[in-house]
Amino acid sequence: MRLANGRMVLVLWIGTVALSLVGIGRFLDESITGLLFAKISVGMAALAVLALIVSITATVAWARRLGNVSADGSRTVSGRRRFLLGAATATGGLIATAAAALVRPRGWLNVVSPAITPEAPTSAPEPRSEWEGARVQSYRRLGRTNFEVSDISLGSGRLKGDRGEEIAREAIARGINYFDTAPDYSAAGSELALGRAMQGHRDKMFLATKFCTPTGHLQPGSSVQEYIDVVEGSLKRLQTNYVDLVHVHACDTVERLLDPNLHEAFARLKEQGKARFLGFSSHTPNLEAVTEAAIADGRFDVMMLAYHHGAWPKLAALIDRAAEKDIGVVAMKTLKGAKHRGLLDFRPEADSYTQAAFKWVLGNPSVGCLVISFFEPQHVDEYLYASGKQLSDQDLAVLDRYDELIAGKHCFPHCGECLDACPEQLAINDVLRYRMYFEDYGDEKEAMRLYAALDKHADVCIGCPAPCADACPHDVPIRERMMGAHQMLS
């Protein structure tokens, strides 16, 4: 009986550890990933917790019955020994259960640990004295909105909390009057921080947000009320009665761009004075198709596009066509992959790269402004030093050197031209974009969250004969970069 009890305790602990591995591990992983609570698997996790309680109870009962009963009713194993054996077994079981729970989300330990530092710094390690106190020097008309916006404007994907609010306040004090935000930036932390920073300045600002929730995009077919509700949520967080611009967020399909419910919702919001202009933002690979459709559609007042030196030759023509229709153009992703601080051979030029890249973008008169992510106080000085300045030969040399160093190594346009070559239908452009967020932007958690949300991951590249080998017009070694991305992001 005693042996049977002992075996039973062992079996219970093995079951508990297994349930912890699949149940609690999955629960932790999905929770950290940021899924909506309704989508997190709690059933198996609850079963694991129940199994844990049963195992501890059975261990206590087993330990208390250890040893034979003597004639006087006492046991041959002393009470102290039984206690120690029971405690040791339960502790061992608990440690094994906890370890099993951490197997699946172990990658997150690298992300949430405060000790981790990005591979590359995200601002100049030694800021130049001439940058100090830089202010906006130029305002440009943003198409038919008729608003004169700061040429270098504040992107807020990584702003949050008191620090984010301070950076935004400083940006306003230095002349920035265009804020770009979205509910899913820092899980609504960006809108909250900007809302506080804008108090007393709202009337001077041009404020753009996006149709989405703090946890993700709205899909085509969402109801008119859902579209309205997300903007109402933004207004509350931003502490304002209206936004100047609402974008269709990261729009990669014409279907999302032209969703009739979205347009109906915008029309109602506009009528109620809660939103003034409609726009869209777009990344690759369908950027061109989406932009073409938006220009032809005629209802869009502003477009925010990935635009940087040397890439997307057709994009300049699209931007000009949009400008002819008086559609305001906002440039984003202007740093062409932001690899400048991670390139050892680029150290001498890295400090002036951001400013050279901005000047190149703003050299196109059809661009109203560029939006760049401010998330360190030093960015205000570093970025605004380029405001109003002309591109020089020296800047062009810096940009050429950057192009030379990233050639054949770095996926910067995320153009998707390689997608058809992959039999696994991997979203190569997205995977390599998330790698960039991790490796170059230093935004590890967001990169891992986005990667985790993909349907398919780059572990399938292991053992693949790589028919994608020659598919990249920029000679990126796709398989190698994808396998590295998987290791980094999972």
Residue from the set 18, 49, 254, 460 that interacts with ligand SF4 by CB under 6 A: 460
* Shortest CB 120 distance to ligand SF4, Å: 19
Taking the complex as a whole, the smallest distance from the CB of residue 105 to ligand SF4 amounts, in Å, to 25
The number of CA neighbours under 13 Å toward the Cβ of 442 is 17
Structure tokens at 11: 């079996």
Q: Which stretch binds ligand SF4 (CB under 6 A): 202-210, 269-277, 361-369, 419-427?
A: 419-427
Is 472 among the residues that bind ligand SF4 (CB under 6 A)?
yes
Pick the closer one to ligand SF4 by CB: 363 or 408. 408
Output the smallest distance, CB 155 to ligand SF4, in A: 22
73: left (phi over 0), alpha (psi -120 to 50) or beta: left
- Interface map 422-451 toward ligand SF4 (x if CB under 6 A): x-x-x-xx--x-------------------
Interaction between residue 464 and ligand SF4 (CB under 6 A):
yes
Which is nearer to ligand SF4, 327 or 468 (by Cβ)?
Answer: 468
Least CB distance to ligand SF4 at residue 466 (A): 4
> Is 485 among the residues that bind ligand SF4 (CB under 6 A)?
no
DSSP H or E stretch at residue 304: strand 302-306
Would you count residue 411 as binding ligand SF4 (CB under 6 A)? yes
Binding piece for ligand SF4, criterion CB under 6 A, among 131-139, 189-197, 370-378, 468-476 = 468-476
Among positions 478, 485, 488, 489, the unique one binding ligand SF4 when judged by CB under 6 A: 478
State yes or no: residue 376 binds ligand SF4 (CB under 6 A).
Answer: no
What lies within 8 Å, CB to CB, of 87 at 6+ separation is 63
192 binds ligand SF4 (CB under 6 A): no
Applying CB under 6 A, the span of 228-236, 246-254, 398-406, 470-478 interacting with ligand SF4 comes to 470-478
Minimum CB distance to ligand SF4 smaller for 198 or for 478: 478
Which of the ranges 112-120, 342-350, 397-405, 413-421 carries the binding residues for ligand SF4, by CB under 6 A?
Answer: 413-421
Whole-number minimum distance, CB 404 to ligand SF4, in Å?
A: 16
Signed CA dihedral, 204, 283, 480, 484: sign only: positive
Least Å distance, CB 484 to ligand SF4, is 12
Q: Among residues 235, 413, 439, 443, which is the contact residue for ligand SF4, using CB under 6 A?
A: 413
Residue 467 is a binding residue for ligand SF4 (CB under 6 A): yes
List the interface residues with ligand SF4, window 56-95 (CB under 6 A): none
Residue in the block written with tokens 């940058």: 131
Contacts of 388-391 with C-beta under 8 Å, sequence gap 24+, read 388/136, 388/137, 388/138, 388/151, 389/137, 389/355, 389/359, 390/359, 390/363, 391/356, 391/359, 391/360, 391/363
Residue 288 near ligand SF4 by CB under 6 A:
no
> The dihedral of CA 143, 148, 150, 154: what is its sign?
negative
What does the DSSP assignment read for 81-150?
Answer: HHHHHHHHHHHHHHHHHHHHHHHTTHHHHHHH-TT---SS-SS-SS--GGGTT-----EEE-GGG--EEE
What's the alpha-carbon Rg for the chain, to the nearest Å? 28
H or E stretch at 330:
strand 328-332
Percentages helix, strand, coil for the chain (3-state, rounded to 5) are 55, 10, 35
CA distance 440 to 122: 8
Task: Give backbone dihedrals phi and psi of 302, rounded to 5 degrees, phi first.
Answer: -140, 145
Q: Which stretch binds ligand SF4 (CB under 6 A): 21-29, 250-258, 346-354, 415-423?
A: 415-423
Residue 479 touching ligand SF4 (CB under 6 A):
yes
Q: How far is the CB of 407 from ligand SF4 (least distance, A)?
A: 11
**For the chain, how many residues are written?**
490
Helix (H) or strand (E) holding 60: helix 43-64
- Is residue 9 within 8 A of residue 41, CB to CB? The reply is no
Q: Binding to ligand SF4 by residue 415, rule CB under 6 A?
A: yes
Q: Which residues pair with 247 in a beta bridge?
A: 210, 279
Q: Which residues bind ligand SF4 (CB under 6 A)?
A: 411, 413-418, 421-422, 424, 426, 428-429, 432, 460-461, 464, 466-468, 472, 474, 476, 478-479, 482
